[in-house]
Amino acid sequence: MSAVDEVVRRVSIAHKAVRAYAANDRVVAALVAGSVARGLADSSSDIELDVYWASPPSVADREAAVEAAGFDRVYSEEDDNEWADGLLVDGVKIDVSGFVTSTIDGYLDRALAGDTDAELQVRVTALRDGIPLHGEAVIDAWRARCADYPEALAVAMVQEGLDLRSRERLEMLAARDDVLLLHRDLLDGVQGVLDALFGANRVWMPHPFHKWLDWEEVLLPHRPERLAARIRSLLVAPPHEAVDTLVGLVDETYELARALVPAADLTPLREAFELRRVV
pTM assigned to the model:
0.95
At a CB cut-off of 8 Å and minimum separation 6, what does 227 contact? Answer: 197, 217, 220, 249
Give the pLDDT band of residue 2 (cuts 50, 70, 90): confident
Judge whether 42 and 216 are in contact, CB under 8 Å: no
Decide if pLDDT at 225 tops 80.
Answer: yes
pLDDT in tens, 50-94: 999 999 999 999 999 999 989 999 999 999 999 999 999 889 999
Query: In angstroms, rounded to a whole number, what is the distance separating the alpha carbons of residues 130 and 34?
Result: 7
Decide if pLDDT at 49 tops 70.
Answer: yes
Q: Of the candidates 96, 45, 51, 55, which has an alpha carbon nearest to the alpha carbon of residue 73?
A: 96
At a CB cut-off of 8 Å and minimum separation 6, what does 28 contact? Answer: 52, 53, 54, 101, 135, 138
Q: What is the pLDDT of residue 276?
A: 82
Q: What is the pLDDT of residue 279?
A: 53
Query: In angstroms, rounded to a whole number, what is the distance separating the alpha carbons of residues 270 and 250?
Result: 9
Q: Of the candidates 277, 244, 275, 240, which has an alpha carbon nearest to the alpha carbon of residue 163?
A: 275
Give the pLDDT band of residue 278 (cuts 50, 70, 90): low
Judge whether 114 and 153 are in contact, CB under 8 Å: yes
Least confident interval from 63-72, 202-211, 260-269: 63-72
Query: In angstroms, rounded to a whole number, what is the distance separating the alpha carbons of residues 194 and 207?
Result: 11
Query: In angstroms, rounded to a whole number, what is the distance separating the alpha carbons of residues 149 and 26?
Result: 31
